[in-house]
Structure 1
Amino acid sequence: MSDTLDPRSEVNGLRRKLLLGAAAATTLGPWVTSAHAGVELEGVTVADTAMVGGKKLVLNGAAVRKRGYFKADVTALYMPEKRTNPDAIFKLDGPRRIQLNILREFTSGTISRIFVADFKQSATDEEFKKLITVVGQIGQAYGNIKSVNRGDVVNLDWVPGTGWTAAINNKPVMIEAGVPLVIKDELAYQIYMRMYLGPSAPDELRNGLLGLTKLHSKDD
């Protein structure tokens, strides 16, 4: 038996692999596309993945968040693994991201006022009192933002060992000149996530972020 491979055999083998791959792609159809396509809401394309703290996160879900009658932003939740239960999300270790794709203008005063009101509603009285200094720091940082406008992207990330950071269009939100906002208290970020996934969050928002609402691929 010769140790030399027959070139024709190699070519035939490669051809068979290519045909099998093509057949598999045809059979899977839209499932192959959706693994990479991202989703679209209100004209905003939300990516399927995000890199946070050097880790690749997956889109858990997305939804349009409203303020009264107005659509405020397209909110997206990125996690190390997909979860459909709020408690499971709160307990899952690792980095995570809440992304806000802004749909209308908000001034700094409005941003601060909304944050404090929502945070207080999502925390117990004891938790709010415990975190009053943290709330003040976040309020101060938000107050330094002149405004956010349609098309802006706000990322609010939690990275174990680093803390909770915020960025607008990839630029860090600052408490003051040269001092970026970094909140190391995990409870503060958990309460922030309750604003979107907790009992006080609107059902439509919560269900979307939990992945319970069907989202359309941008290629649909």
Structure 2
Amino acid sequence: MSDPLNGPDAAPGADAIERLLISRRAFVTSTAATAFMLWTPEVKAAVELEGIEIDETITAYGKKLVLNGIGLRKRGYFKADVTALYLPEKRTTPEAIMKLDGLRRIQLNILREFTSSTISRIFIADFKQVATDEEFKKLIDVIGQIGAAYSNVKRVTKGDVVNLDWVPGRGWMATHNGRQLTGDGTMDAMAINNELAYQIYLRMYIGPHAPAELRNGLLGLTRLNRVGGGTVSPAEQP
């Protein structure tokens, strides 16, 4: 028969009970931490300008894009929007961006109200400024399509987001607060398969006629403020 105090059938002593309790507490803590990690939403890295938070990476049309840079666009004394440029890979010169293949996005984070007529007038003036006379004449039908798409917007207000994308195989596409813009009075999404038109549009932001502060910001040449504190230098950007 086993010794009632020291035999194999004896109840565990105080030390054994304490070790068991510690082991169980560690297991519960580890399980809770794992569950928290599984259910905690992913926090994306973001930068900030004029109170607008801009994600450093996004997914558009199934493709991952990185933030090349951001800049403040003005109209006279007024702040018009915070512009963000997303590319498949970071580039720091207009020439390199123009030669880059793949999806590209210009994102406008609106800071004040504009009517569709104002938007159209500004777009045509800017487009004509950066295009050659020959290019403008060649693209007059395209410009009309874009004007028709803008007229369907009616107006944009502070907090709105407009995305203007070049999608390979489909063309130049645009959304307003996630809604696809349409043109020509139809319900079909605007898709202008003319890369020259989008290249000229890019010139409005990163070409020689663009304000230096805006151009340098979009080229990733200026220091950015991180959401939550701190700054990120051009070399640290994606």
Asked if structure 2 preserves the Cα contact closer than 8 Å seen for 1:163 and 1:186, the reply is: yes
Higher CA-based Rg: 2
Output aligned runs, 1:58-97, within 5 Å: 58-97=66-105
Asked if structure 1 preserves the Cα contact closer than 8 Å seen for 2:67 and 2:85, the reply is: yes
Aligned partner (choices 153, 162, 165) of residue 154 of structure 1: 162
Aligned to 1:40, what secondary structure does the other structure show? strand
CA offsets per residue over residues 50-72 of structure 1, 9 Å max, x none?
A: 22231100000001100000000
1:121 aligns with 2:129: yes
The amino acid of 2:55's aligned partner reads A
Aligned to 1:168: 176
Asked if structure 2 preserves the Cα contact closer than 8 Å seen for 1:107 and 1:147, the reply is: yes
CA distance in 1, matches of 2:167, 2:116: 25
What displacement does 1:36 show?
4.3
1:212 aligns with 2:221: yes
1:180 aligns with 2:189: yes
What's the TM-score once normalised by structure 1's chain length? Answer: 0.83
Aligned to 1:196: 205
Aligned to 1:93, what secondary structure does the other structure show? coil
What's the TM-score once normalised by structure 2's chain length? Answer: 0.76
The amino acid of 1:148's aligned partner reads V
Asked if structure 2 preserves the Cα contact closer than 8 Å seen for 1:37 and 1:219, the reply is: no
CA distance in 1, matches of 2:186, 2:134: 32
The amino acid of 2:176's aligned partner reads I
Aligned to 1:208, what secondary structure does the other structure show? helix
CA offsets per residue over residues 112-140 of structure 1, 9 Å max, x none?
A: 00000001111111100000000011011
CA distance in 1, matches of 2:191, 2:140: 15
1:46 aligns with 2:54: yes
| RMSD after superposition | 1.1
CA offsets per residue over residues 83-134 of structure 1, 9 Å max, x none?
A: 1100000001110100000000000000000000001111111100000000
The amino acid of 1:49's aligned partner reads T
Aligned to 1:187, what secondary structure does the other structure show? helix
Gaps of 5+ in 1: 1-34
Aligned partner (choices 113, 117, 120) of residue 105 of structure 1: 113
Q: Which runs of 4+ in 1 moved over 3 A?
A: none
Asked if structure 1 preserves the Cα contact closer than 8 Å seen for 2:153 and 2:176, the reply is: no
Asked if structure 2 preserves the Cα contact closer than 8 Å seen for 1:52 and 1:159, the reply is: no
Aligned to 1:23: none
Gaps of 5+ in 2: 1-42, 230-238
